[in-house]
Amino acid sequence: LMMSYCLCRLLATEHVGELLNPGPDVVILDEGHKAKSTDAQITQVLQRIATRRRLAISGFPLQNKLDEYYTLLQWVRPSDIDSALGAKVHFKKLFENPISRLYFSAGLKYRTCSSGQISDIVHKIQRRALLLHSLTKPFILRRGPQLLVNDLPPK
> How confident is the prediction along the chain (155 residues), in pLDDT tens digits per residue?
667 777 777 766 666 666 666 777 888 888 777 777 778 777 887 887 888 888 888 776 555 588 888 888 888 888 887 788 888 889 998 888 888 877 666 555 555 666 666 677 778 888 888 898 898 888 888 777 777 778 778 77
CA–CA gap between residue 119 and residue 125 (Å, rounded): 10
CA distance 61 to 74: 13
Q: Are 25 and 45 in contact (CB under 8 A)?
A: no
Query: For residues 78 and 53, is the Cβ–Cβ distance under 8 A?
Result: no
Angle between helix 66-76 and helix 41-48 axes, rounded to 10 deg: 20
Residue among 81, 71, 67, 18 at smallest CA distance from 43: 71
Closest CA to 137 of 85, 65, 99: 85
Query: Is the CB of residue 46 less than 8 Å from the CB of residue 29?
Result: yes
Q: Of 81, 95, 90, 98, which is closest to residue 136 (Cα–Cα)?
A: 81
Global pTM?
A: 0.75
